[in-house]
């Protein structure tokens, strides 16, 4: 009974925590991660601009960083080439 | 002239870590680099003589096959490097590909990534970048007392030196962006009450590149640690070129420690029975007046025209007597 009570309490605590997180912090975390993604894409542009036709710098040191950027190259190109309209101003 | 003559007082003193010889092709940069490196090694300094010139031939002057062989000890304390930049680039490309395969357990690299890597080999600046990286790497490792760099001919030499600023500011900017990304990772971690945020390997790579580049540029820009010389011959065309080169170097903030005059016809040529040689000597006298007028005290050493091309350690020793100890005086 005691064990069940403890389990219930911790479950309640977790649920409360999740509700609080969802209500108060989820929006902020999403915004932070979105900004983080923009920074990541800007970073990839700075090292792999050549790939899209922006001759940014000699690629010698870019190549040293390229292996780390490989998983993000597709989403970066996709986002870069995406058609944009005025709603992007509002919704990013 | 009441100024020091010969490079001894300028270069072979405590604190000088790097010497750069620049100038047009074929005027004696490689010979001067080899001679200075030889003299410094004889004084007990551990010296690295490094050729960045694709046409240079330290192999020829030292009469040893050193091209692409890394650091070769040609005599006690004297190590020579003639970089094979193409081989270095190819090895580097293979290393990058291998790293991608290992990191993501891939048999095949995505075609667009592979195409990008392969195409970057053809970039015109790749050669300079690879050479510059090798120079910076040697200086950052700090295993030698003195580094003597034989630069590529004038235009490429300028490009090589401006690369210092461009690369450093590029790496600074990248690091700044990466640190910003790290801050956002940290905020997200705190908001989610997570304990750890995974280490950013890109940031570590950037710190490593930055350390290497700044060690190199700090030495290069410090007048007490580095000396930069222009090499020229006593011919009018060489005077004009040197004048232009000095202006270009001044524009990028590099002030020369001196000008070295190479292939100076010795005085006895004035009475040579051959009118051809006498004329050449007279012409040289006129050009020397021009040089005195334009560069004056900047000229710090003169190397005579030898009866035969200076080669091997004996030939280099003879050049060093003139370059370092200032045996030949022209005014």
Subunit contact A66:B110, Cβ cutoff 8 A: no
What is the ipTM score, two decimals?
0.80
Least Cα separation, residue B107 to chain A (angstroms): 14
Measured between CA atoms, the residue of chain B closest to residue A51 is B116
What's residue A23's pLDDT? 81
Fold classified for B8-87+124-157+210-323: Rossmann fold (3.40.50)
Q: Which residue has the higher pLDDT, B136 or A3?
A: B136
**Confidence band, pLDDT 50/70/90 cuts, at residue A14:** confident
**Among B197, B132, B144, B143, CA closest to B171:** B132
Subunit contact A60:B170, Cβ cutoff 8 A: no
Mean pLDDT of the residues in chain A = 83
Least Cα separation, residue A47 to chain B (angstroms): 8
Any alpha helices (H) in B105-200, and if so which ranges? 111-120, 124-141, 154-191
What's residue B192's pLDDT? 81
Which chain B residues have a beta carbon less than 8 Å from that of A64? 96, 205, 209
Q: Find residue B48's DSSP bridge partners.
A: B79, B147
Which chain B residues have a beta carbon less than 8 Å from that of A24? none
Write out the residue range of the structural domain in which residue A50 sits: 2-91
Under-70 pLDDT residues of chain B: 1-4, 54-56, 154-157, 196-197, 331
| Contacts with A37 (C-beta within 8 Å, 6 or more apart), sequence order | none
Subunit contact B191:A62, Cβ cutoff 8 A: no
Which chain B residues have a beta carbon less than 8 Å from that of A47? 174
Q: Which residue has the higher pLDDT, A22 or B154?
A: A22
Overall domain count for chain A: 1
Nearest by CB to residue B174, choosing from A40, A43, A73, is: A43
| Contacts with B231 (C-beta within 8 Å, 6 or more apart), sequence order | B21, B22, B23, B27, B28, B29, B32, B259, B260, B262
The residue to which tokens 């990013």 are assigned: A92
Q: Does A64 touch chain B (CB under 8 A)?
A: yes
* Boundaries of every domain in chain B: 8-87+124-157+210-323
What's residue B303's pLDDT? 96
Does A81 score more than 60 pLDDT? yes
| pTM of the predicted model over 0.90 | no
Q: Are B293 and B266 in contact (CB under 8 A)?
A: no
Distance, in Å, from the CA atom of B186 to the CA atom of A32, rounded to the nearest integer, reads 10
CB burial class (10 A; 0-12, 13-18, 19+) of residue B309? exposed
Tokens of B46: 């551990």
């Amino acid at each position: 009974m005691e064990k069940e009570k403890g389990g219930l309490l911790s479950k309640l605590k977790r649920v409360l925590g999740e509700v609080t997180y969802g209500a108060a912090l989820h929006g902020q975390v999403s915004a932070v991660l979105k900004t983080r993604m923009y920074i990541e894409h800007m970073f990839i542009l700075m090292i792999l601009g050549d790939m899209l036709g922006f001759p940014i710098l000699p690629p010698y040191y870019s190549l040293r960083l390229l292996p780390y950027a490989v998983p993000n190259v597709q989403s970066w190109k996709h986002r870069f080439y995406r058609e944009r309209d005025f709603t992007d101003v509002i919704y990013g | 002239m009441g100024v020091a003559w010969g490079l001894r007082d300028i270069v072979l003193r405590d604190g000088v870590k790097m010497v750069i010889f620049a100038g047009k092709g074929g005027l004696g940069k490689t010979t001067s680099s080899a001679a200075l490196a030889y003299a410094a090694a004889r004084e007990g300094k551990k010296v690295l003589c490094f050729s960045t010139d694709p046409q240079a031939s330290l192999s020829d002057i030292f009469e040893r096959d050193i091209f692409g062989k890394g650091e070769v000890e040609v005599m006690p304390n004297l190590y020579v490097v003639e970089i094979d930049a193409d081989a270095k680039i190819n090895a580097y490309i293979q290393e990058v590909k291998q790293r991608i395969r290992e990191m993501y357990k891939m048999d095949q690299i995505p075609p667009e990534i592979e195409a990008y890597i392969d195409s970057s080999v053809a970039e015109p600046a790749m050669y300079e970048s690879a050479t510059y990286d090798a120079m910076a790497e040697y200086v950052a490792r700090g295993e030698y007392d003195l580094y003597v760099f034989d630069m590529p001919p004038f235009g490429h030499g300028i490009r090589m030196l401006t690369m210092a600023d461009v690369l450093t500011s590029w790496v600074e900017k990248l690091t700044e962006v990466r640190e910003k990304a790290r801050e956002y990772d940290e905020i997200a971690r705190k908001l989610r009450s997570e304990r750890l945020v995974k280490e950013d390997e890109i940031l570590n790579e950037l710190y490593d590149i930055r350390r290497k580049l700044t060690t190199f540029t700090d030495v290069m820009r410090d007048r007490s640690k580095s000396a930069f010389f222009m090499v020229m011959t006593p011919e009018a065309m060489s005077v004009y070129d040197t004048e232009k080169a000095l202006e270009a170097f001044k524009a990028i903030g590099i002030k020369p420690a001196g000008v070295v005059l190479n292939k100076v016809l010795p005085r006895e040529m004035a009475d040579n029975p051959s009118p051809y040689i006498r004329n050449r000597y007279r012409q040289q006298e006129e050009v020397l007046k021009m040089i005195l007028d334009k560069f004056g005290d900047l000229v710090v050493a003169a190397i005579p025209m030898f009866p035969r091309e200076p080669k091997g350690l004996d030939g280099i020793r003879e050049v060093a007597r003139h370059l370092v100890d200032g045996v030949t005086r022209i005014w």
